[in-house]
Chains A and B, each alone.
Chain A
Amino acid sequence: MLQVSNLSVARGGKILLHDVSFSVEPGQALVLRGANGIGKTSLLRCIAGLQTPTSGKILVPETVAYAAHANGLKGQLSVFENLKFWADIYGGPRPDVALNSYSLENFAYQPAANLSAGQQRRLGLARMLVTGCRLWVLDEPTVSLDVQNVALFYKVLKAHLQGGGAAVLATHIDFQLSAESLDLTSYIASLNMSSSAFEEALE
């Protein structure tokens, strides 16, 4: 479903990761590991299509559901309206199932601004379900979730995988789910690599 080959990823003109290759099949989740600042977010942004890699190839399905650090919620809209909006944009399913999966049904008609940080995060994750996309790209999905809600997230993710979906996640904490993991430490680009076109002009 997702195929990444010989990818190089840069941030701020500096190549972070070099020659990364992996693939994710339907029913599979891949966890990207590595210290802060190693380039997990940049790699995920490349997969989501927000950033162009400096070299290499990414093969993805036409639409990808992407969840970043920011949830992208509108505080003035209700929880239901927030999900409904994304469901309409993606042409995905109605929000009811998504609300139930993350036990948000009691807040459905409250403004999203009233939710706690953990609840907002759950709403952000529930957005994935209404996109109807098979590939999820998740950047630190469990941030600000307590133990119970992390378990809830695992349950939803498992169901997604069993339904033939796939996911790429970035996290620096332990991930208690039977998933493939890829340690990015071995792909750290060497010091002298720079994505700058001025390299050739250096005397």
Chain B
Amino acid sequence: MIQLFARDIRLAVRSGGGFGLALIFFLIVVVLIPLGLSSDQSALALVAPGVLWLGALLACLLSLDRIFGLDYEDGSLDLLATSPLPLEAVYIAKAAAHWLTTGLPLALAAPVLGVLLNLSFDAGKVMCFSLLLGTPALSLIGAFGATLTLGVKRGGLLLSLLVLPLYVPTLIFGARAVHSASLGQPFDVPLIMVLAISLGAVAILPFASGAALRINLR
């Protein structure tokens, strides 16, 4: 499992854009939104938590179909399925690799990009923290969606359609935590909920994804 995780990280680094693309996309979203909205500092501060969470969520979505898609095309997913490694473990390793190459950089970049949106330093810290807790859920849910659309040609749009509604609870609690923090209100409850969704996803989704992979490979 660790070997598969390491291989996916190595592939992401070598194929270029593994780490970079999602970050640049995140930056572009954060730049475009004030252009479309307003340059008013107080208005930006008000929408900053939502914009940053939404940007991270969309950036996460970009690379989802590559999680299993490349391995499915070149036949290595078949070979992994016949190996001693259970498909549930394959799913966890791949979701973890996706998180490390996408979720983690996004979480670390978010407070920096928050400066562009007039997000206070304290709220920025909560932003980073909420994304650290929430991006594992985004990767896990997204990887689950990717197992469902594995056999569909040009399934990228379908994947977004399936995954985005599943992202709703994570988005609501995550953005709410940062919003409360920016207003100086307590933010512990939504943060705990974000953590709970991530933990729940680790507990349930491997089984659903393993089943979906088996269905797709047969």
Contact = CB atoms under 8 A, between A and B. Distances in A.
Given A50-B217, A63-B83, A89-B83, 16 more contacts: A48-B82, A63-B84, A66-B82, A68-B79, A69-B75, A70-B74, A70-B75, A71-B74, A72-B74, A72-B75, A74-B7, A74-B76, A81-B10, A88-B3, A89-B80, A89-B84
Interface in A86-139: 86, 88-91, 127, 131
A64 interface: yes
**Chain B facing A: main interface SS:** helix
Contacts of B75: 68-72
A51 B218 contact: yes
A65 B7 CA distance: 20
Given A52-B218, A72-B74, A74-B76, A89 B85 contact: yes
Interface in B170-204: none
Interface in A50-78: 50-52, 62-74, 76-77
Q: Return the 9 tightest CB-CB contacts between A and B, nearest first.
A: A70-B75, A72-B76, A88-B3, A76-B14, A72-B75, A66-B82, A72-B79, A48-B82, A51-B218
B38 interface: no
Contacts of A72: 71, 74-79
B82 A77 contact: no
A81 B14 CA distance: 13
A74 B80 contact: no
B78 A70 contact: yes
Contacts of A49: 81-82
B81 A50 contact: yes
B75 to A, nearest CB: 3
A90 B77 CA distance: 15
Contacts of A77: 7, 10-11, 14
A127 B79 CA distance: 10
B218 A64 contact: no
A49 B217 CA distance: 10
A89 B4 contact: yes
B212 to A, nearest CB: 15
A85 B3 contact: yes
11 contacts: A50-B78, A64-B82, A65-B82, A66-B82, A70-B76, A74-B74, A74-B76, A76-B14, A77-B10, A89-B3, A90-B84
Name the residue among B10, B15, B83 with the largest chain A CB count within 10 angstroms: B83
B15 to A, nearest CB: 6
A77 B217 CA distance: 24
A64 B157 CA distance: 36
Contacts of A85: 3-4, 7
Nearest to A76: B14
A135 to B, nearest CB: 11
Contacts of B80: 89
A69 B3 CA distance: 24
Interface in B79-126: 79-85
Interface in A118-163: 127, 131
Given A68-B78, A89-B80, A90-B84, A74 B11 contact: yes
